[in-house]
Amino acid sequence: MDQKEIIKIKKYIKCFHIKKNEDLETFKIKFLGKKKGIITVLFKNLKKISIHERKNYGKIINELKKEVQNKISHYKSINDINKNKKVLNSDYDPTFPGKSIEIGSIHPLSIIINRIIEIFIRIGFIHVDGPEIEDDWHNFTALNIPVSHPSRDMQDTFFLCKSLDVLLRTHTSSIQIRYMKNHCPPFRILSIGKVYRNETISSHSNFMFHQAEGFSIDRKISFSDLKQTIHYLITSLFGKEKIRFRPSYFPFTEPSAEVDIHCNNEWLEIMGCGMIDPEVLKNVGIDPEIYSGFAFGVGIERLALIIYQMKDIRTYFDNDIRFLKQFKSEF
């Protein structure tokens, strides 16, 4: 291949008009086509050239190939720019504001939970957390709940293994045991979280709901401290509301009571409470001769029904954003 031929090919490459995609295809086949492409053939001829000249010859063909490739990429980049221009010339307006992403809102139950924490922190309570997977001792035995108690029934409790020692906590009262066995009084504790049990008869959702558990241990804690604390909670949550204490029974408190709130001309039961049973204190190594304490447990969904005047607790878990975003944390 002499100089003339090289110039001819170079010119051919340069002057080939690529206006549209089909031209590009023709150009590619013309120069790089597998069988008859000009560059391909030149490469094939390389074998015939004496070793002597091969190096130089190879260099020239590589340069030609580079020129072909440059022309191809040049066309492609121009084509991309044109495409973008087309977009810009169309109705598309890049300055038009994008679609906004909907921001969620605080769940109504979380609003109430945060509010309760705030209320109790003001009177010296500490907020603690605990496991949802419990063992028999923390959930039942240490709380004086006898083997025959209905809550230990397979139908009521979600046991997680055959030994019946691993279960989903049925109430937050297990936190009393967890905290008291590891700490020395005095203390005031609040814990809020999910509990799991069969609740088809009540207005709770049927297997899980949220509870707040509070307890206070000190020397000379009496039932009047409990009453005053509950009054403080209810008035902080509802404003001035009428409540009453009704005698009741819980295995871990003595005496025990249930609290009802007067609302829409009826009494609604909202929580259980009482003085912590001396046996429970003994179980966690606290001397009942020196210390006494009160405890209470309240269902958050139940409170939410009253606060928001709702009828069906399941709406809280339907996850319908139209429902959920009506609630504002006005506390």
Q: Do the strands 187-196 and 126-128 form a parallel or antiparallel pair, or are they unpaired?
A: parallel
Give percent helix, percent strand, percent coil of the chain, each to the nearest 5. 45, 20, 35
Kindly state whether residue 296 participates in binding ligand DAH, applying the rule CB under 6 A: yes
Q: Least distance (Å) from ligand DAH to the CB of residue 169? A: 10
Contact window for ligand DAH (CB under 6 A) among 18-26, 115-123, 292-300, 308-316: 292-300
Per DSSP, the residues of 273-324 read: EEEEPHHHHHHTT--TTT-EEEEEEEEHHHHHHHHTT-S-GGGGGS--HHHH
Kindly state whether residue 144 participates in binding ligand DAH, applying the rule CB under 6 A: no
Residues 6+ apart with CB under 8 A from 62: none
Residue 294 or residue 327: which is nearer to ligand DAH going by CB? 294
Q: Which two tokens stand for residue 228?
A: 């005053």
Kindly state whether residue 196 participates in binding ligand DAH, applying the rule CB under 6 A: no
How many other CB atoms sit within 10 Å of the CB of residue 313?
A: 20
Total binding residues toward ligand DAH, as defined by CB under 6 A = 11
Residue 136 or residue 213: which is nearer to ligand DAH going by CB? 213
Positions 10 through 69 that interact with ligand DAH (CB under 6 A) = none
How many other CB atoms sit within 10 Å of the CB of residue 217?
A: 24
Phi and psi, residue 243, nearest 5°:
-130, 160
Kindly state whether residue 213 participates in binding ligand DAH, applying the rule CB under 6 A: yes
Positions 62 through 121 that interact with ligand DAH (CB under 6 A) = none
* Calpha distance 190→212 (Å, rounded): 7
Kindly state whether residue 210 participates in binding ligand DAH, applying the rule CB under 6 A: no
How many other CB atoms sit within 10 Å of the CB of residue 292?
A: 21
Q: Least distance (Å) from ligand DAH to the CB of residue 287? A: 20
Kindly state whether residue 253 participates in binding ligand DAH, applying the rule CB under 6 A: yes
Mask: binding to ligand DAH, 150-189, rule CB under 6 A, as x and -? ---------------------x-x----------------
User: Applying CB under 6 A, which residues contact ligand DAH?
Assistant: 171, 173, 213, 250, 253, 272-274, 295-297
